[in-house]
Chain A
């Protein structure tokens, strides 16, 4: 049977606009433009308010305040559903132009106090891990953190502990910053939806900023705690096998290996070794080329396999992901790319050198 949902999707594809609720209110005859509180406050207080940009609250009866609307956007219940971007980005590098694009993993949290915690990480939509813990298995730290971000945030808004610090534009998004109680967490809510869009945490004089992709609180029992992608991370990465001659490598991979020539920035090709790469259907064979000494000094190592296997790509911090053709995924000093039909990882003394090595790769024709 033709799937009805798919068939209807083809007729009217999803709409992704955001709308304009303020315009609805205006057109309905309800003006809700915030009116600045008259500056009647005496000297120092008024000055401080102006300096830190405290947003004037709407006078009582003229409509909900920023805090009210932030509260209305939280939903209700103790269950937290949170999706946020990873703090540590990968960089996608166009090998021809050098253009760089930051890619961040998305981390999804379902937390139901007492019932459990599920955490799922996705990179470019591909599940990197998906784990679920029952109530007893949730660490005190995680429980405290997610309770604070869920019910704690709402309680701060309800109790009057929360304070609007001012307006801002963060990474292009217009926001209000809200200080949540006496801790060091500030939450930025969208000026359009009033949902949390950033969290700012200051610790030991250092401020970290995390982008929130989705934030909901829901009634108890509504958390989706069951994992849907139960695959685990590879239990081990690759291991070295026998030493080889490069001329024998093509038969190992089923196609010519890639290399960077006999010498690379003063590093001579030092070793050619078979790689044993664990995979779901049994180990596959890859190849490792080492330039310079791998005994502890600076060196470059080029690893390659004919298949995309987690035990190889996890070296670059991702699984199941392949960068688009002509690009390289850079994670610190590790790079991942597809070259000459092979999946290749590069370990170099620094990221720039890894990019240079990637550009110099070519098939070894023997």
Chain B
């Protein structure tokens, strides 16, 4: 028996709880990428879930729950980001490390390349890699059409690659 059928009295609450159990860790990573600080990210995720529980009547269905909750968490994280687009690396993060001996870009260089991406592309990457959302979830979280997600991610990857090559050149 599914969660929905079992918890007739509050199926939406059960769906949000399922998202919490399955996706807390990815969501914390997402929020950390945006706020730049894990403790701040934990607060953002907690408050995001609290809001999701309070406003659960707006949740359409179980399938859309991961993206819907993620959208709320994303907004909470962005509210806590003291600098617009916190992923802009600080000078400390950019200490002239660009390419390591093994040819891999170092964190500062990657952060710089990410910071140079358009926000939607950057968030799409974060939602895919950190929040582990599928295309439907990314579309829900960003409030864009599902068909746009693939193109956005493709452009983000290509742009990131180009910018990394520029940094590493």
Q: Is the CB of A72 within 8 A of B32?
A: no
B133 sits at the interface (CB 8 A): no
A1 CA to B159 CA in the complex, in Å? 12
Per-residue A-contact encoding for B84-110, CB less than 8 Å = 1, 0 else: 000000000000000000001111001
Please determine whether A12 and B17 come into contact, CB atoms closer than 8 angstroms.
Answer: no
Is B157 in contact with chain A by the CB < 8 A criterion? yes
Count of B interface residues, CB-CB < 8 Å: 41
Instruction: State A2–B100 Cα separation when bound (angstroms).
Output: 12
Which residues, 51 to 66 on A, are CB-close (under 8 Å) to B?
61, 64
In the complex with contacts A23-B46, A72-B18, A16-B157 CB distance below 8 A: no
B-side contacts of A18, CB under 8 Å: 24
Residue ID in chain A nearest B24 by CB atoms: A19
Residues B54 and A17 in contact, CB atoms below 8 Å apart: no
Nearest chain B CB to A318 CB, angstrom units: 30
Q: Interface-forming stretch among A26-34, A92-100, A250-258, A325-333?
A: A26-34
Determine if A17 and B50 form an interchain contact, defined as CB atoms under 8 angstroms apart.
Answer: no
Partner of A2, one of B20, B24, B50, B164: B164
- How many residues of chain A get a CB closer than 8 Å to chain B's CBs? 35
**Which positions in B face A, CB cutoff 8 Å?**
1-3, 6-7, 9, 13-14, 17-18, 20-21, 24-25, 28-29, 32-33, 38, 42, 45-46, 49-50, 53-54, 104-107, 110-111, 114, 125-126, 129-130, 157, 160-161, 164
Between A and B, 24 residue pairs with Cβ closer than 8 Å are A1-B161, A2-B161, A2-B164, A4-B125, A5-B129, A8-B33, A8-B126, A11-B107, A12-B32, A15-B32, A17-B24, A19-B24, A21-B17, A24-B46, A24-B49, A24-B53, A30-B53, A61-B9, A64-B14, A71-B1, A72-B18, A154-B1, A158-B6, A193-B21
A binding-site residues for B, Cβ under 8 Å:
1-2, 4-8, 10-12, 14-21, 23-25, 27-30, 61, 64, 68, 71-73, 76, 154, 158, 193
Identify 11 new A-B residue pairs, CB closer than 8 A, beyond the known A2-B104, A19-B45: A2-B164, A6-B104, A8-B33, A8-B130, A10-B107, A16-B25, A17-B28, A21-B17, A24-B49, A28-B54, A71-B1
4 A-B pairs with the lowest CB-CB distances in the bound complex, closest first: A28-B53, A15-B28, A7-B110, A19-B24
